[in-house]
Amino acid sequence: MIENSESVGARGAVEPPLVLVAEDDADICLLVELHLRRVGCAVVTARDGREALRHIRTQQFDLVILDVKLPEIDGLGVLDAVRDDCETRAIPVILLTANVRNADVADGLSRGANGYLTKPFTLDELTAAVRRSLNRVPPIHDPG
């Protein structure tokens, strides 16, 4: 579980971190969502970039996890929109990519991503990336 006494999120209240997962692969999206819920996060999902931006504009997320290859607006386009808006630019963003090409990773990081995970990734790698991005130790419970 989240350590309530140490978990003050972007929304200003003591509550679990609110994470947006934008992933068009239903299996990966469900896996990430269930794991994040299991370790104590609140999760909202989106299946395309346009839906992700709607959520980002209407809710205060503590973290956004974006697939690079989203329909409608790709993950890098969503990342650009997040970083260009003074209301959202401080939200940590983790990119999910099937490409391990250095140019793709460097492009995402140069646009302001806080980190990335290469598919397939382990749940331990996901948990570690979320902890780093939330800058909380430990932000979430490892149910072991």
Model confidence pLDDT, tens digit, residues 49-70: 999 999 999 999 999 999 999 9
pLDDT reported for residue 122: 97
Over the Cα atoms of the chain, what is R_g?
14
Q: Which helix (H) or strand (E) holds 83?
A: helix 75-84
Whether the predicted pLDDT of 13 surpasses 80? no
Average pLDDT over residues 67-88: 96
How much is the pLDDT for 112? Answer: 94
pLDDT at residue 3 in the model? 37
Q: Write the pLDDT tens digit of every residue in 109-124.
A: 999 999 999 999 999 9
Task: Return the CATH class of domain 4-134.
Answer: alpha beta
| Residue 26 scores a pLDDT above 80 | yes
At 66 the three-state DSSP class reads: strand
Residue with tokens 């492009």: 107
**What are the sequence ranges of the domains in the chain?**
4-134
State yes or no: pLDDT of 140 exceeds 80.
no
Write down the mean pLDDT value for the chain: 87
Q: Which residues of 68-95 are buried (b: 16+ CB within 10 A; e: fewer)?
A: bbbeebbbbbbbebbbeeeebeebbbbb
Residue 139, pLDDT > 90, answer no
Residue 6 makes CB contacts below 8 A (sequence gap 6+) with 136
Distances (CA, A) of 64 to 5, 39, 67, 143, 144: 23, 16, 10, 22, 24
pTM score, whole prediction? 0.85
pLDDT of residue 135: 81
